[in-house]
Amino acid sequence: MRTLIAALFAVVLAAPALADEKPIQLKKADGLDKVEAHCAACHSLDYIQMNSPYPSAALWEAEVNKMVKAFGAPIDDADAKAIIEYLKKNYGS
């Protein structure tokens, strides 16, 4: 019973933090559908906007390749290429 009460208390405390969260609106362009389908399956799309002032085209390519090769993201080569191109064109420095 104490565990249930503690869990409910934690949810009540966290609720105000969730209330201010706004949906992510990435730039509308070719490849956005692939980014939303593949990248958002594992993490928030906030990372794209938060990091976008810094990555070069080469860094975005390395990031996508890392997700596929090191972390095992189930993205085929064609979709990975589309994601890389989208990130390079819309969020590269």
Question: For the residues 69-90, what does the mean pLDDT come to?
Answer: 95
Confidence of residue 86 (pLDDT cuts 50, 70, 90): very high
pLDDT of residue 50: 83
Contact 30, 87 (CB under 8 A): no
Q: For the whole model, what pTM was predicted?
A: 0.73
Query: Domain 23-91 adopts which CATH fold?
Result: Cytochrome Bc1 Complex; Chain D, domain 2 (1.10.760)
Q: How much is the mean pLDDT over the chain?
A: 85
For 45, the 3-state DSSP assignment is coil
Q: Is the pLDDT of residue 8 over 80?
A: no
Report whether pLDDT(66) > 90. Answer: yes
